[in-house]
Amino acid sequence: PPVALSSGPRRVKSSIRIGTRGSQLALYQAELVKTRISQDFPLVTVEIVKIKTSGDMIRRGGTAPFETKRIYTREIEDALLKSEIDLAVHSAKDLAAIMPDGLKIGAVLEREDPRDCLVSRDKKKLSELPLGARIGTSSLRRKMQLLRWNAELIVEEIHGNVDTRIRKIDDGEFDAVVLAYAGIKRIGFGNCVSEIFPEDTFYPAPGQGVIAVQSRVNDQEVDEILEPLHHALSGKRLDCERAFLRRLEGGCQLPCGVTTAVHNGRITARGALFATEGHEWVEQRIEGTLDQAAHLGENLANLILANGGRVILEKIKQNVRPTLRHPERSEGSQL
């Protein structure tokens, strides 16, 4: 039953169960949310529940560009809808563009650095890698941007957690890998980074670097607990970026990127969509007030579609391969 806390008149649940994937990064993020809740509500018992998702057993290259079937979140979201857990912690970029009925993003933690980074042998930067260098990534967005920078690179699929991917460099399988800087920082591998790519030349994924806490609609007791965790500016930026992805009908593997910034109450967004064949891309920029965040994201996508992006999307749809799954562990799109 709810208990009244001596620190104020609010009534909240006496215990909270946090659902999460079992990867090192996912557990770090869940522990961060647990710590924040415990600090704000010391009388609430917080438990972390590990849940295996279909995305944890996915074949190399198995995620299609328009995959919106919640491959890294479905089982966790189902547990949330069944009240087997009280909230779920995700890397925001793993969330489907359209939220399942009955669920919402209840809180967004302050955003970590959204940029991508390079980890390479001998700490070489991208410009210092030899022609034909082999670079590992599980992301179409990163692959197409790497080839835009240098068409002579060999970009191949790589899966596994951070130390597994880095070990493949040491073993000579790859010359470098590209990862999300936020994820690699969070689990203490920041010293391995050779280069951090600027957002204006290497577009991050929508929501990259954001920890999102998912909850049930109309769960007021959980809303009370999540309210102190929410970082409003990060939430507005995420609203913009998710609206951008939603308008492009994209899943976590659509080769699009977006970067947002807030200054003096205004939000600026720049986005790009990359072809999966050839070296075509469309990029656009838009600016407006914070209360227009989601509307701006949608309009940014409309600008891209109207200026060549629709043709790129149609070509991608024609070449989409079916999603295949295989019992091979993956750290997920969050890296």
Q: How far apart are CA 99 and CA 314, in angstroms?
A: 24
Residues 6+ apart with CB under 8 A from 300: 240, 244, 258, 269, 270, 271, 284, 285, 286
Q: Give me the pLDDT at residue 317, please.
A: 86
Q: Give me the pLDDT at residue 158, please.
A: 92
Are 118 and 184 in contact by the 8 Å Cβ rule? The answer is no
Are 203 and 274 in contact by the 8 Å Cβ rule? The answer is no
Q: What share of the chain is helix, strand, coil (3-state, %, to 5)?
A: 35, 25, 40
More confident residue, 233 or 68: 233
Q: Give me the pLDDT at residue 253, please.
A: 75
59 alpha-carbon distance from chain centroid: 19
Q: Indicate which residues carry an active-site annotation.
A: 94
| Alpha-carbon Rg for the chain in angstroms | 20
How many other CB atoms sit within 10 Å of the CB of residue 60? Answer: 14
Residue 14 phi/psi, 5-degree rounding, is: -80, -20
Q: How far apart are CA 133 and CA 196, in angstroms?
A: 18
Task: Return the percentage of the chain with pLDDT > 70, whole number.
Answer: 87
pLDDT at 57 over 90: no
Q: How far apart are CA 269 and CA 297, in angstroms?
A: 7
Query: How high does pLDDT run on average in the chain?
Result: 88
Q: Give me the pLDDT at residue 334, please.
A: 45
Q: Give me the pLDDT at residue 66, please.
A: 55
| Closest by Cα among 183, 245, 244 to 210 | 183
Burial class of residue 114 in the structure, from the number of CB atoms within 10 Å of its CB (0-12 exposed, 13-18 middle, 19+ buried) = buried
Task: Return the percentage of the chain with pLDDT > 90, whole number.
Answer: 76
Burial code (b: 16+ CB inside 10 Å, e: under 16) for 97-106 equals bebbeebebb
Q: Give me the pLDDT at residue 250, please.
A: 73
More confident residue, 139 or 72: 139
Q: Give me the pLDDT at residue 182, please.
A: 95
Strand locations in the chain, DSSP E? 3-4, 11-12, 15-20, 45-50, 87-91, 103-108, 116-120, 134-136, 154-156, 176-180, 195-196, 211-216, 256-263, 266-274, 281-289
Q: Give me the pLDDT at residue 217, please.
A: 97
* Amino acid of residue 304: I
Which tens digits make up the pLDDT trace of 159-197? 888 888 999 999 999 999 999 999 999 999 999 999 999
Alpha helices in 90-219 (DSSP H): 140-149, 162-170, 181-186
Would you state the torsion angle of the CA atoms of residues 262, 295, 248, 264, taken in this order, to the nearest 10 degrees?
-10
| Closest by Cα among 212, 215, 251, 246 to 333 | 251
Which tens digits make up the pLDDT trace of 228-241? 999 999 999 999 99
| Joined tokens for residue 230 | 């929410």
Which tens digits make up the pLDDT trace of 279-317? 899 999 999 999 999 999 999 999 999 999 999 999 998
Q: Give me the pLDDT at residue 278, please.
A: 78
Q: How far apart are CA 6 and CA 265, in angstroms?
A: 36
pLDDT at 26 over 80: yes
